[in-house]
């Protein structure tokens, strides 16, 4: 037989609503603190040149059909014999030894860990031991540890949620609301930062532009042989009124 416990409205007003407000406030505070602490490193000239070469090669492959065969062949050959022959050395530990990257990782960890530790202490001290909500559907007993953290009552139905468990649910569910309030670039949300930390939080592997240039050169060579000009019959179609 399912239980039907009447939850006091004071718990809703003085526990549940403050939990929601605190989590949203801390998420907004973390977002703006991250913007203030974020550094803007100057781009390296060599890297920007490699990026521009790769982008132009990809653009030529995608939009080259709008060029005549002679114009496309000249550009493709100039790219294959010129910029795409550039030798680029890749240091796999370059980003790991970059002090700015290490500083960014440390800032992200601080912004993630310190507020969460403070929130855990706050919730455990002021709001521990409360049953704050009830789900309108039943849950299996294996969800008891997830839904009823801080309250050890084996006879309580699993669809009743304690304050500590509700804190985690609100924290993970507030990502969409924070994006609505702060904009689509709300990268300081709890869920995004926690997922980054779970994935290691490390920098991405550097791009091997030598392999990128080699691949683009091969694709351009292949495209030269099978190039089709999309405007080849344009004059005839124009005269026919099509």
Measured distance CA(138)–CA(157) in Å, rounded:
8
Q: Considering the domain boundaries, does residue 79 fall inside one?
A: yes
Look at 218 and 46; give whichever has higher pLDDT. 218
Structural domains of the chain, count: 1
Give the highest mean pLDDT range of 60-69, 88-97, 124-133, 228-237.
60-69
Measured distance CA(232)–CA(90) in Å, rounded:
43
Q: Considering the domain boundaries, does residue 33 fall inside one?
A: yes
- Return the pLDDT at 185: 58
Q: What is the pLDDT of residues 48-58, one digit of tens each?
A: 888 899 999 99
Q: What pTM was estimated for this model as a whole? A: 0.55
- Return the pLDDT at 58: 92
Mean pLDDT across 85-89: 80
- Return the pLDDT at 52: 92
Q: What is the pLDDT of residues 183-198, one digit of tens each?
A: 755 554 455 555 554 4
Mean pLDDT across 122-128: 84
- Return the pLDDT at 188: 47
Provide φ and ψ at 89, rounded to 5°. -90, 140
Owning domain of residue 124:
9-131+167-239
Measured distance CA(27)–CA(30) in Å, rounded:
5
Q: Considering the domain boundaries, does residue 161 fall inside one?
A: no
Mean pLDDT across 71-89: 87
């Amino acid at each position: 037989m399912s239980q039907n416990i009447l939850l006091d409205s004071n718990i809703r007003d003085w526990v549940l609503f403050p939990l929601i407000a605190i989590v949203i406030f801390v998420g907004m505070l973390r977002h703006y603190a991250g913007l203030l602490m974020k550094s803007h490193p100057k781009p390296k000239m060599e890297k920007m040149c490699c990026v521009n070469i790769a982008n132009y090669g990809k653009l030529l492959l995608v939009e080259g059909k709008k060029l005549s065969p002679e114009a496309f062949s000249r550009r493709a050959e100039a790219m294959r014999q010129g910029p795409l022959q550039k030798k680029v050395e890749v240091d796999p530990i370059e980003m790991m030894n970059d002090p700015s990257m290490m500083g960014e990782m440390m800032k992200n960890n601080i912004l993630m860990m310190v507020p969460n530790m403070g929130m855990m202490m706050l919730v455990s001290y002021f709001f521990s031991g409360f049953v704050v909500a009830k789900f309108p559907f039943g849950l299996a007993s294996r969800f008891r540890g997830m839904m009823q953290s801080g309250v050890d009552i084996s006879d309580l139905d699993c669809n009743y949620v304690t304050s500590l468990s509700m804190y985690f649910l609100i924290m993970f569910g507030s990502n969409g609301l924070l994006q609505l309030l702060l904009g689509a670039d709300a990268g300081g949300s709890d869920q995004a930062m926690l997922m980054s930390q779970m994935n290691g939080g490390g920098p991405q592997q550097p791009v091997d532009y030598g392999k990128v240039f080699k691949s683009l050169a091969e694709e351009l060579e292949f495209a030269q042989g099978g190039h089709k000009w999309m405007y080849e019959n344009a004059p005839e179609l124009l005269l026919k009124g099509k």
